Amino acid sequence: MKADATATELRKTGISVVGDVPWGTHFCYFYQTQQDLLDTLVPYFKAGLENKEFCLWIISMSELLTVDEATAALRKALPNLGSYVDDGSIEIVPHDQWFLNGGVFDYHRVAREFKVKLDEVLAKGFAGMRVNGSPAWMQTKHAEELREFEAEVAQLFPNERIIASCTYPLAPMSGNQIFDIVHLHQFAIARRQGEWEVIETPELKEAKAEIKRLNDELEKKVEQRTRALKAEIAERKLAEEAVKRAENRIRLVIDTTPALIHTGRPDGYLDYFNQRWLKYVGLSLEEIKGWAWTNVIHPEDVEGMVNEWRAVIASGKPFQYEARVRRADGEYRWMLHHKVPLRDEEGDIVKWYGSSIDIEDRKRAEMQWRLLIDAIPQQIWSGPPDGSLDYCNERWRSYMGLGLQELRGDGWQAMLHPDDRDRVLKAWCESVATGTPYEQEERHRGADGGYRWFLSRGLPLRDAEGRIVRWYGTNTDIEHRKRADKEVEAANHQLRSLSGRLLHVQEEERRHLARELHDEIGQALTAAKINTDMLRSAAPSDLCERLNENATILDRVLQQTRQISLDLRPPVLDDLGLVAALRWYVDQQAKRAGLRARFSADSRADEASAPIQTACFRLAQEAITNAIRHAGATTLTVEVRQSDSSLSLVVQDDGVGFDVAKAEARAAQGASLGLIGIKERAALAGGRTRIVSSPGKGTTVEIHLPLHGVEPVAPVSGISQAAFPK
């Protein structure tokens, strides 16, 4: 269809010797002087602009013309050229901007660019595209690429809404070059000193003959269609008369129906109200039809009803609106107004049919209900199925200092705290879309400008078929609870800080005691042992036995003192670092418990800060102690690894394992503090803990600590540092 349409539609070229040509025409033009070039291209582009075609004039460096000269010449013929430039109807560009990309000519890319540009201008509403360019600059260095380029363009253009001319100066060209170029185009024209010459290809002559044949056939089809249309018009008149008779019968039925019924045209103009309507308002049809019906609507309801009706006319959706109507005796009564569209076979609206139902009694019942709701000391709201709000009680309105009109629709969203808005609206939209109950904690702005926390809940009310007919909800003030939660959180933070401080003081005390035992008491016991050994060698036999007993006691006390010192804080942790300390500790505990132990470590672990190394060592102690005491394991694996940001400790055993969830529940009740101790110590160092275990499958404790820990824990407010001896 596209090819036929473009082939039969002729376009004015503005070139007298060429006349009209079909879309897809690709011809060449040889010229001798600059004036010859302008005499041809200026009317060529003028005709294109005047016929709503997009024009692209590519000025080549091989031509006797510049961009400014081309623009000036075209402006003489078109004084309003500026308006065409402003609305994007024409572009005059140098050849390197169009043909070259980074100084490189790629004829495939250029051909694609023509197609892309054509699609772009067609989307903007142009009839097509008119192009002129001069590929002559390629004739010397890129002759083969020129032929390939012209051939590719010749294949692209025939079925597109584009007319393209290629201009070549005659002076530098040989006869063979001219023949090559003519062969690549549908036809060629030449202008020398004001004289025209035309060279047509056989294909063009055949195309013109085909166009003439098609136009003749088209004229015959138009004549036949005209006769058919006359017959259709006659049939339509008969159908219209039948429709009119049917409408008269429908109006008779409507007038005798005990309901307020009206009809309207597709544009919203109400053209008919039945007799019951006219009697109800005490007016004639002439006084109420069109848009005059708004005169009987309550002044407070008119604007909303008219705006909603106009929106429905545009969308074509059914209309439903509650508004008060003035009765003939002057009393306003609430009515529910319905309108539905009648469509033809093509889906176009041909008529609107509407009815109005008196709902005054229902509205009064609703008013009584709202008075009751307003008296309840709770924020209550409701709205239609679409999730908008049409009612909130006095309690909520007084809190925000706003009226119901300001809150209706989505006006209530303005009172949400900016930090809560996206979260709350997303949750509410999901509830409306899925029909699930809504519950969110959110902050609402009060009349004083301050925000308070509320627990907002919403529930859908459904009809017998399960359709949501209304949403009802409440807002409960939880500001005091949220403040209490913050106070608890602050207290927990203080407790955590206190725990960190206690651990820090405890570690310092351990360090101090270990040094005292190792340096002072250990040395004193060693000296006493040496003195005892010396006395034993010189003592009488009756004292020798006693001295031997003393030596044995001193050996045992000295050994215990050393072990206590190591348990408190092994010197190797301070002297050689974490890796050496853990290796020593794992070997020592494995020998004591009779376990097979494997230890591996990243030497970079010693680069962590001193507090992190201490925390890692203590966590390893606790995990290994738990495995020895409770797991019944035969193999123990300890690994320490360091990444760019954290230090990782993994302690794994092949013991009896346990149910982690149950163990955590017992720990929460105070039955076991092992898990809590490990997690708390890791958390105080800014780390995280993962424990994997199940009955009969062993246990893995995985801990990740930041390389440099958290900020040093300051003394908790209100607690003297003197309470923690050093």
pLDDT at residue 3, as a whole number: 41
Nearest to 264 by CA among 288, 283, 287, 243: 288
pLDDT at residue 519, as a whole number: 54
DSSP result, 120-154: HHHHTT-S-EEEEE-GGGGTTT-HHHHHHHHHHHH
pLDDT at residue 80, as a whole number: 92
Name which residue leads in pLDDT, 719 or 291: 291
pLDDT at residue 52, as a whole number: 95
pLDDT digits (tens, 9 = 90+) for 82-121: 999 999 999 999 887 887 776 677 777 877 888 899 999 9
Question: In angstroms, what CA-CA distances link 99 with 150, 393, 500, 717?
Answer: 13, 71, 72, 76
Name which residue leads in pLDDT, 109 or 193: 109
pLDDT at residue 469, as a whole number: 87
pLDDT at residue 713, as a whole number: 41
- Residues 40/15, Cβ–Cβ less than 8 Å: yes
Segment 8-21 mean pLDDT: 85
Mean pLDDT, the chain, whole residue set: 79
Please give the share of the chain, as a percent, with pLDDT higher than 90. Answer: 25
pLDDT at residue 591, as a whole number: 87
Q: Is the pLDDT of residue 552 over 90?
A: no
Nearest to 453 by CA among 462, 444, 466: 444
pLDDT at residue 528, as a whole number: 63
pLDDT at residue 609, as a whole number: 80
Name which residue leads in pLDDT, 687 or 323: 323
pLDDT digits (tens, 9 = 90+) for 414-429: 889 999 999 999 999 9
Segment 264-292 mean pLDDT: 91
pLDDT at residue 267, as a whole number: 92
Confidence of residue 255 (pLDDT cuts 50, 70, 90): low
Q: Is the pLDDT of residue 216 over 60?
A: yes
pLDDT at residue 679, as a whole number: 79
pLDDT at residue 500, as a whole number: 54
DSSP result, 40-108: HHHHHHHHHHHTT-EEEEEE-TTSS--HHHHHHHHHHH-TTHHHHHHTTSEEEEEHHHHHEETTEE-HH
Question: In angstroms, what CA-CA distances link 263 with 239, 267, 305, 625?
Answer: 21, 12, 17, 88
pLDDT at residue 2, as a whole number: 42
Beta bridge partners of 104: 101
pLDDT at residue 714, as a whole number: 40
12: number of CA atoms within 13 Å, CB side? Answer: 12
Q: Is the pLDDT of residue 136 over 90?
A: no
Beta bridge partners of 598: 637
- Residues 264/354, Cβ–Cβ less than 8 Å: yes
pLDDT at residue 720, as a whole number: 31
Beta bridge partners of 635: 596
pLDDT digits (tens, 9 = 90+) for 393-418: 888 888 888 888 888 888 888 889 99
Name which residue leads in pLDDT, 256 or 347: 347
Name which residue leads in pLDDT, 111 or 288: 288
Query: Which of 82-91, 151-160, 658-667 is predicted with the least confidence, judged by mean pLDDT?
Result: 151-160
Pairing of strands 129-133, 100-101: unpaired
Confidence of residue 125 (pLDDT cuts 50, 70, 90): very high
Query: Which of 316-320, 373-377, 512-516 is predicted with the least confidence, judged by mean pLDDT?
Result: 512-516
Sign (positive/negative) of CA torsion 347, 351, 352, 353? negative
Beta-carbon count within 10 A of 675 CB? 20
Name which residue leads in pLDDT, 598 or 603: 598
Nearest to 279 by CA among 306, 255, 295: 255
Q: Is the pLDDT of residue 58 over 60?
A: yes
Question: In angstroms, what CA-CA distances link 644 with 63, 136, 254, 604, 607?
Answer: 65, 63, 83, 10, 11
pLDDT digits (tens, 9 = 90+) for 332-380: 999 999 899 999 888 899 999 998 988 888 888 777 766 766 666 678 8
pLDDT at residue 724, as a whole number: 28
Burial of residue 299 (number of CB atoms within 10 Å: 0-12, 13-18, 19+)? exposed
Segment 246-253 mean pLDDT: 65
Query: Which of 12-16, 199-203, 546-550 is predicted with the least confidence, judged by mean pLDDT?
Result: 199-203
- Residues 129/117, Cβ–Cβ less than 8 Å: yes
Phi-psi domain of 634 (left: phi exceeds 0; alpha: psi -120 through 50; beta: other): alpha
Segment 693-719 mean pLDDT: 68
Please give the share of the chain, as a percent, with pLDDT higher than 70. Answer: 75
What is the DSSP code (8-state) at residue 267?
A: T
pLDDT digits (tens, 9 = 90+) for 634-657: 899 999 988 877 888 999 998 888
Q: Is the pLDDT of residue 294 over 90?
A: yes
* HEC per residue, 150-203: HHHHHHHCCCCCEEEEEEEECCCCCHHHHHHHHHCCCEEEEEECCEEEEEECHH
The distance from CA 193 to its chain's CA centroid, rounded to whole angstroms, is: 65
Q: Is the pLDDT of residue 295 over 90?
A: yes
Name which residue leads in pLDDT, 668 or 440: 440
Torsion of CA 556, 559, 561, 565, to 10 degrees: -160
Confidence of residue 75 (pLDDT cuts 50, 70, 90): very high
pLDDT at residue 63, as a whole number: 65
pLDDT digits (tens, 9 = 90+) for 162-172: 999 988 888 77
Q: What angle do CA 665, 669, 675 make, to 5 degrees?
A: 60
Q: Is the pLDDT of residue 723 over 50?
A: no
pLDDT at residue 486, as a whole number: 80
Confidence of residue 297 (pLDDT cuts 50, 70, 90): very high
Among 3-17, 306-320, 543-557, the range of highest mean pLDDT: 306-320
Confidence of residue 513 (pLDDT cuts 50, 70, 90): low
Segment 12-28 mean pLDDT: 88
Name residues whose C-beta falls within 8 Å of residue 467's C-beta, 6 or more positions apart in sequence. Answer: 385
> Residue 570 has which token pair?
């092994």
Q: Is the pLDDT of residue 520 over 60?
A: no
